[in-house]
Amino acid sequence: MEMDQMISSVREALDDMKARDIVELDVRNKSTVTDRMIIASGTSRRHVMSIGQHVQEEMKHKGLQPMGIEGLDTGEWVLVDLGDVVVHVMMPDARAFYDLERLWGFDEAESAGSDA
CATH number of residue 51's parent domain: 3.30.460.10
The answer to whether residue 112 sits within a structural domain is: no
E strands present in the chain? 20-26, 36-41, 68-70, 77-81, 85-90
pLDDT given for residue 105 in this prediction: 65
Percent of the chain with pLDDT strictly greater than 90: 75
The answer to whether residue 13 sits within a structural domain is: yes
The answer to whether residue 80 sits within a structural domain is: yes
Sheet containing 85-90, strands listed edge to edge, beginning at the edge strand earlier in sequence: 20-26, 36-41, 85-90, 77-81, 68-70
The answer to whether residue 27 sits within a structural domain is: yes
Which pLDDT tens digit goes with each residue over 69-81? 999 999 999 999 9
The answer to whether residue 109 sits within a structural domain is: no
The answer to whether residue 43 sits within a structural domain is: yes
Domain count within the chain: 1
pLDDT given for residue 40 in this prediction: 97
pLDDT given for residue 110 in this prediction: 46
The answer to whether residue 111 sits within a structural domain is: no
CB distance 71 to 79 below 8 Å = yes
In which domain, by residue range, is 12 found?
3-97
The answer to whether residue 104 sits within a structural domain is: no
Q: Determine the average pLDDT of the residues in 11-16.
A: 98
Position 109 confidence tier, pLDDT thresholds 50, 70, 90: very low
